[in-house]
């Protein structure tokens, strides 16, 4: 069940499970151009053992739009304010892609974070990342004749990236567009969010993350044998974060969230359950 929570500066659309009787809240943070439903498979898996929350980043889904100019740190501030509005003193963050940058930045600033899971995110992006992402943002500038046209386009795009279509994917796409059959996200602001990957103070943030971190690296190629984030882009993180372990998966960046991956769920659970 979703609800909108008023923080100091914005309305944030959240999907929460659990009754608040557990002392830790597991928060899932989605990627650059999607919404809370991108984290559906993870939230469904963990909702029976943890209180969980996923949410629309500002500028996505039903949350307030970002302030202009925008960057990763604005989304970090949104999350810190959201956490302060909730009745929990302990949090575990699981961030995918752009959500990984937000998770690390938040963990570097808050002593309420117990652990961080990075699902192929938070590393040093290179030129290949930009070449793969920027063209995909073009859809945010377009209008479509019908929701079916938008759905068909996304089916083709994600299908080519190994994503198995499902009822959940229909919900993901429906939550991306408004009644005018235009993506809800603003192209210029979303592009600013992406460009801030390259301005992110990696070393400073990594040095200030003092809690256990699990890094999941996707090595599956998106185009021309190139993954979205290179393994080399995670080297600085692995050298700098004081308590970190990493694993490699041959999945494509988008498969790892849009498809249900039981082995990955097991790996994450073992990490967050460990005392």
CATH number of the domain encompassing residue 119 = 3.40.50.1820
Give dist(CA 49, CA 54) in Å, integer. 15
- The confidence band for 154, taking pLDDT boundaries of 50, 70 and 90, is very high
Please check the confidence at residue 20 and state whether its pLDDT lies above 90. Answer: no
Mean local confidence (pLDDT), 24-53: 97
Mean local confidence (pLDDT), 115-123: 98
Q: Determine, yes or no, domain membership for 107.
A: yes
Task: Tell which phi-psi region holds residue 133, choosing left (phi > 0), alpha (psi between -120 and 50) or beta.
Answer: alpha
Q: How far is CA 90 from CA 32, 51, 188, in A?
A: 26, 11, 35
* In contact, 158 and 258? CB cutoff 8 Å: yes
- The confidence band for 99, taking pLDDT boundaries of 50, 70 and 90, is very high
Question: Of 203, 275, 216, nearest to 251 (Cα)?
Answer: 216
Q: Determine, yes or no, domain membership for 142.
A: no
Q: Determine, yes or no, domain membership for 181.
A: no
Q: Determine, yes or no, domain membership for 170.
A: no
What is the total count of domains within the chain? 1
Q: Determine, yes or no, domain membership for 155.
A: no
As a whole number, the mean pLDDT across the chain is: 96
Q: Where are the beta strands (DSSP E) in the chain?
A: 2-6, 11-17, 24-29, 51-55, 90-96, 113-119, 213-220, 244-252
Q: Determine, yes or no, domain membership for 22.
A: yes
Give dist(CA 110, CA 256) in Å, integer. 28
| The two structure tokens encoding residue 234 | 């995670």
Q: Determine, yes or no, domain membership for 193.
A: yes
Q: Report how many helices (DSSP H) and strands (DSSP E) the chain contains, helices first.
A: 11, 8
Give dist(CA 257, CA 267) in Å, integer. 14
Please check the confidence at residue 273 and state whether its pLDDT lies above 90. Answer: yes
Domain that holds residue 234: 2-135+188-273
Please check the confidence at residue 21 and state whether its pLDDT lies above 80. Answer: no
Q: Residue 177 in 3-state DSSP?
A: strand
- The confidence band for 178, taking pLDDT boundaries of 50, 70 and 90, is confident
Give dist(CA 22, CA 273) in Å, integer. 13
Please check the confidence at residue 183 and state whether its pLDDT lies above 90. Answer: yes
* In contact, 27 and 94? CB cutoff 8 Å: yes
Question: Of 80, 75, 83, 78, nearest to 100 (Cα)?
Answer: 75
Q: Determine, yes or no, domain membership for 91.
A: yes
Quote the pLDDT of residue 211: 98
What would the pLDDT profile of 63-93 be if each residue is shown by its tens digit?
A: 999 999 999 999 999 999 999 999 999 999 9
């Amino acid at each position: 069940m979703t609800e909108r929570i008023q923080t100091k500066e914005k309305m944030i659309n959240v999907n929460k499970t659990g009754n608040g009787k557990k002392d830790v809240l597991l928060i899932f943070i989605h990627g650059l151009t999607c919404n809370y439903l991108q984290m559906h498979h993870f939230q469904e898996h963990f909702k029976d053992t943890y209180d969980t929350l996923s949410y629309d980043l500002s500028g996505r889904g039903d949350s307030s739009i970002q302030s202009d100019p925008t960057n990763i740190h604005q989304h970090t501030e949104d999350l810190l304010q959201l956490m302060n509005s909730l009745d929990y003193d302990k949090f575990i963050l699981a961030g995918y892609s752009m959500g990984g940058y937000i998770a690390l930045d938040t963990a570097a600033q808050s002593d309420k974070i117990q652990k961080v899971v990075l699902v192929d995110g938070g590393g040093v992006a290179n030129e290949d990342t930009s070449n793969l992402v920027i063209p995909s943002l073009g859809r945010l500038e377009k209008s479509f004749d019908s929701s079916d046209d938008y759905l068909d386009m996304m089916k083709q795009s994600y299908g080519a990236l190994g994503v198995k279509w499902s009822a959940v994917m229909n919900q993901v796409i429906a939550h991306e567009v408004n009644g005018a059959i235009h993506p809800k996200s603003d192209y210029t602001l979303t592009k600013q969010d992406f460009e801030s990957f390259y301005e992110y103070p990696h070393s400073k943030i990594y040095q200030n993350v003092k809690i256990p971190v699990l890094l999941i690296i996707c090595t599956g190629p998106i185009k021309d044998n190139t993954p979205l984030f290179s393994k080399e882009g995670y080297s600085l993180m692995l050298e700098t974060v004081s308590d970190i372990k990493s694993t490699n998966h041959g999945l494509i960046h988008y498969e790892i969230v849009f498809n249900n991956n039981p082995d990955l769920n097991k790996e994450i659970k073992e990490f967050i359950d460990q005392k």
